[in-house]
Copies of this chain bind each other. A is one copy, B any other.
Amino acid sequence: MSFVNLRQLAGELGLSSSTVSRAMRDSYEISTATRERVQTVARQLNYQPNPFAGSLRNNVTKTIAVILPQLDNHFFSLAINGIEEVAQQNGYHVLIYLTHDSGEQEKAVTKYLTSGRVDGILLALASGTRGVGHLEKLKLLGVPIVQFDRVSETLRTATVTTDDYASSYQATEHLIKAGCRTIAHLLVSESLSIGSKRLKGYQAALEAHRIPFDAGLVLNGRGSNDNNLRRITQLLEQRPEIDGIFAAVERLALSSYLACQRLGRAIPQDIKIVGFSNMETASLLAPSLTTITQPAYAIGKEAARILFQAIIKHKPVLPAHSLELKSELIARASTAGPLR
């Protein structure tokens, strides 16, 4: 597909292909004169080395894979921005795979990758994943993996996460201090690390403030947004004493916001909401929504950075390289101008 290959270029120059190869790679054993001549002609002929020949030869693909549940989520969009930037800096290419939170799809994707297609993997676990055998296999094959945000506890790799426990504790405490006594928790899949950690932070804050934990206030937000909206509305109707909501992910925060609007529950006078959200504008559009914002961009960057260090140094990514970044609780003083 390239117009000209190494041999043709060498022919044009009256040199052997190995000399040209070396000249192109700035080898020390090539005279400056020939190197420059080679590179000039290469540019003229628009020579581009075939990346697959190189990969075949060197077992280096200059490519990483990013495996994600979805993209309809601000966290992941921002994370990819960070990943892609670091990848470009390192001269790497980024393959993207979406699992739609299905364990099966995740397995299928990892299977593609057992062929040595990539030098490393960045992974945010699907909520539908049960075992991690497919990932262990990849590790065994020597493919470095760095997990971010949604990580498996059993798979021993470096991880980049946020302070899920601490920020959830803080969020719940924020509600308690604002006077809430009956606080619902909208959960992501419990099998997900972020799910259980955020739940634990919520429970711990309740306990610290001597509020009994009530499992009936915990709603597992699976399924479509519409479905969640319905179920949240139901919960709020059944338990009218609820005066606070802590939502563990963006879409549940928004759904609960809508549910309150529809039920005519004034926010934040009548009921208060705190939710994880990385949508820059969400907290602005919904001024009464207090948000926990994760440094999504930084998480992507750091995860990629850790991965590249492992790739370049040919060292495994150890759990010890893990990082936990801080989220930010943004409590808006709902001071927006008149609306409606």
Chain A contacts to B: CB under 8 angstroms: 1-3, 46, 48-53, 55-56, 59, 61, 63, 70-74, 77-78, 80-81, 84-85, 93-98, 111-112, 114-117, 137, 141-143, 225, 251, 254, 257-258, 260-267, 269, 279-282, 284-288, 334, 336-340
- The answer to whether A261 and B336 touch across the interface, beta carbons within 8 angstroms, is yes
Q: How far is the CA of A119 from the CA of B2 in the complex (A)?
A: 12
* Chain B residues closer than 8 Å to A59, beta-carbon distance: 1
- The answer to whether B286 and A48 touch across the interface, beta carbons within 8 angstroms, is no
A-B contact pairs, 17 of them (CB 8 A): A2-B114, A48-B116, A50-B115, A51-B115, A52-B56, A52-B61, A52-B116, A71-B77, A77-B77, A80-B98, A94-B97, A95-B95, A254-B284, A258-B284, A261-B287, A264-B337, A285-B285
- The answer to whether B340 and A267 touch across the interface, beta carbons within 8 angstroms, is yes
- The answer to whether A285 and B288 touch across the interface, beta carbons within 8 angstroms, is no
- The answer to whether B339 and A261 touch across the interface, beta carbons within 8 angstroms, is yes
- The answer to whether A263 and B337 touch across the interface, beta carbons within 8 angstroms, is yes
From known contacts A46-B114, A72-B81, A117-B51, infer whether A286 and B285 are also in contact, taking CB-CB under 8 Å: yes
Q: How far is the CA of A85 from the CA of B46 in the complex (A)?
A: 34
Q: How far is the CA of A289 from the CA of B107 in the complex (A)?
A: 42
Contact pick for A339, options B53, B78, B251, B339, CB 8 Å:
B339
Contact pick for A52, options B55, B260, B281, CB 8 Å:
B55
- Total copies of the chain: 2
* Chain B residues closer than 8 Å to A84, beta-carbon distance: 96-98
Q: Other than the known A94-B96, A257-B285, A262-B336, what 8 A-B pairs have Cβ atoms closer than 8 Å?
A: A1-B116, A52-B116, A63-B95, A70-B81, A225-B281, A254-B284, A269-B340, A334-B340
Contact pick for A80, options B71, B141, B263, B288, CB 8 Å:
B71
- The answer to whether B2 and A116 touch across the interface, beta carbons within 8 angstroms, is yes
Contact pick for A141, options B3, B81, B97, B258, CB 8 Å:
B3
A278 smallest CB distance to B (angstroms): 10
* Chain B residues closer than 8 Å to A141, beta-carbon distance: 1-3
- The answer to whether A115 and B48 touch across the interface, beta carbons within 8 angstroms, is yes
* Chain B residues closer than 8 Å to A55, beta-carbon distance: 52
A245 smallest CB distance to B (angstroms): 15
* Chain B residues closer than 8 Å to A71, beta-carbon distance: 71, 77-78, 80-81
A69 smallest CB distance to B (angstroms): 11
* Chain B residues closer than 8 Å to A261, beta-carbon distance: 287, 336-337, 339
* Chain B residues closer than 8 Å to A263, beta-carbon distance: 337
Give the nearest-CB partner of A1 in chain B. Answer: B116
- The answer to whether A80 and B51 touch across the interface, beta carbons within 8 angstroms, is no
